[in-house]
Amino acid sequence: MEEVRVGDWTLLRRLGEGGMGVVHLAEDERGRLAALKVLRPHVVGDEEARTRLEREVATLSRVQSPYVAEIIDADPWGPVPFVATRYVDGPSLHDEVTDNGPFGGADLRRLAIGLAKSLQAVHGAGVLHRDVKPSNVVLDGMTPVLIDFGLARLGNDTKITRTGFLLGTPGYLAPEVLGGEEPGPHADVHSWAATVAFAGTGNAPYGSGHAMAVMDRVRRGEHDLTGLDPALRISVEAALDPDPLRRPTLGALVRVLDARRAPSAAATAAALTAPVAAPAGVPPQAQAPATQVLPPERVVLADADLEEEPPLWSEPPVRPRVPVGERLRRWTLGLGLLLLVAAGVAAAPVPVLAGLALVVAVLRWGAVTADGHRSRREARGRKRWYDVPHSFVMTPVDLFVSLPVTLLLCLAAAAVGGVALLIAGVAGAPHWQWPAWTGLGVGLGLALGPGSARLRRPVRGLLNPLARTGGGWLLTAALMLALAAALAWSLRSNGVQWAPLSEAPWDLDWKSWLH
C-alpha cells in the first residue's frame, strides 16, 4: 500500500475527525509520532485565513505543559495545510468514562487539577481553548492532556460562520458564548466545570436531547450534579455560575482542590461563595487578527504562584472614572437644557408646556420598554429570536404602565412651577418674567420629581456623548445659545405668546371666559 505523506510526516492511520479537519496518527523520519490534523479547505481556503493560522500556530507553539498536547510542527502554506501535536496514546476522557464509569476520590481531584493547569498553560500563551469537553481530553495514564486547543479561534472566519458552523458542543459551552458574546477566560472555566462534572458523574451536566433544549438549560444554569463527589461539588457549582463574573479563577480552583492542602468542604464553600474585593475592573479583551490575548494579571502558571493567593473571583467591571473636564461639560449642557426650557416657556407657555409633557411621556415610555426588554433577556437568556417581536407586542402595555407615574411627575413639576410663579409674584418681578420663572420651576420638577430617573437616563444618553469631546460640546453649546437667542428675540419682538389663550391667565376675566 502506497504511503501517504503530508510534509515530513507519513500518515499511519486515521484517528478521527472534527469540524476543522481530519486527524491522523503520523510518524516523521526520526520516528516521532504525532496527531496530525489535516485542515479542511473551507477553514484555510485563502491567503488571509492561512496568515491567521500561521500567527495562531506561532503563538500556540509557546505552550509547554505536561497537561497539553503542544504543537510540534505545522505548515499553514503547504499544498495540504496541517498542524501536528504531541501524540498521546490513551483513551479520551469521554471514552474512558463511557467504558469504565465515572471517576471519584483522589483520581477525580487529580483530573480536575490537571485540567485546570492545562488551561492555565494555554491562557498563559495568550489564547483561549474555547472547546473544552470530554472528547478533547486524552488520558496519559491518569494524567489528563488537553488536545485541539486554540484552533477553534479559526472558526471566526466568516466563511465558516455563514455555513452555520457551531464552535464547540452546546452542553459544554458557557452561556455567554451561546448568547453571542466574545468569550473570555471565564468561558473556559465554565467548560472545565462541565467536563469535570461529566468525569465525576458519567453524565453531561446539562443533560441530553435536542441541542436547543440543552442550550436553553445552559443559559438558565439548570445543571444536574447528582452523584458528583461532594469534595468537588462546591467548586464545580461555583464554576458553572451563569454569570461569568461570579465564577472563580483557574488559580483559585487549583488552590482549593490541591490534594496536598485540600481544604474541608466548609472551607471550600467559604472560599468559593464569599465575594472577594477585586482590583480595578476587567481590562478589555485585546484581540489580534488570529489570537485572542488575555489579561496577563489573570494568568497563574505555576504552583509557586498559587501561594500568592490569586483572586477567587473574576474582577467585576467598574465604571470608568469620568474626567473632570467632561463632567463640567455634562453639567453645562444639562444647565443649558434647563435654561432652554425656561426660555421656551417664557416665549410661548401653553404650546411649550404641552409639548414638554408629550416629550416626557414618550421618553419615559421608551425607558420602561427598554427596562422590560432588558429584564426579560436576562431572565430568559440573551438574544432570543422572539425578543424584538415580544417587545413590539409589549409596547402598548409599557405605555399603560408608564402613564400613571408620568402623570404624577408632570403634576409634581407643575406644582414646583406654581411655587416658582408665586415666589416671582411675591418678589415683585415684572409680569413678563413670570412664565420664565414658571418654566424654570417646571424644568427642575421634571429633573428631580418622582419617576424622573427614567427621564434623566435617556436625556443623559443624548447629552453625555456630546460632552465627551470638546468639539461636540462646543457645537451643542452653540446650538443651544442660538436657540436661546432666537427665543429671546421672539420674546422681545412679540412679547409672551399665550395662544391659544387671548392673554395671560392672571389677566383673564375667568367668569366671562367660562360663559
CA 160 to chain centre: 23
The answer to whether 467 and 474 have CB atoms below 8 angstroms apart is no
CA distance 440 to 422: 13
Catalytic residue among 73, 131, 216, 241: 131
What DSSP string runs through 27-89? E-TT--EEEEEEEPTTTS-SHHHHHHHHHHHHHHTT---TTB--EEEEETTSSS-EEEEE---
At 54, which amino acid appears?
A: E
95 is a catalytic site residue? no
CA 189 to chain centre: 16
37 annotated as ligand-binding: yes
b/e burial code for range 253-263 (CB count within 10 A of at least 16 → b): bbbbbeeeeeb
Helix (H) or strand (E) run with residue 274 in it: none
b/e burial code for range 27-63 (CB count within 10 A of at least 16 → b): bbeeeebbbbbbbbeebbeeeebbebbbbbbebbeeb
What DSSP string runs through 324-339? HHHHHHHHHHHHHHHH
State the virtual CA torsion across 97, 102, 103, 105 in degrees, nearest 10.
180
What DSSP string runs through 195-246? HHHHHHHSS-TT--S-HHHHHHHHHHT----TT--HHHHHHHHHHT-SSGGG
Q: What is the CA radius of gyration of the chain?
A: 32
Please choose, from the candidates 128, 147, 245, 144, the residue with its C-alpha nearest in 3D space to the C-alpha of residue 196: 144
The answer to whether 76 and 44 have CB atoms below 8 angstroms apart is yes
Q: Which phi-psi region, left, alpha or beta, contains residue 340 (left: φ > 0; alpha: ψ -120 to 50)?
A: alpha
Q: Which three cell numbers stand for residue 34?
A: 504525532
Please choose, from the candidates 94, 178, 180, the residue with its C-alpha nearest in 3D space to the C-alpha of residue 139: 94
Q: Any long-range contacts for 318-321 (C-beta under 8 Å, 24+ apart)? A: 318/280, 318/281, 320/281
Please choose, from the candidates 54, 52, 27, 26, the residue with its C-alpha nearest in 3D space to the C-alpha of residue 156: 52
Q: What share of the chain is helix, strand, coil (3-state, %, to 5)?
A: 55, 10, 35
Give binding residues for ATP as ranges.
Answer: 37
Catalytic residue list: 131
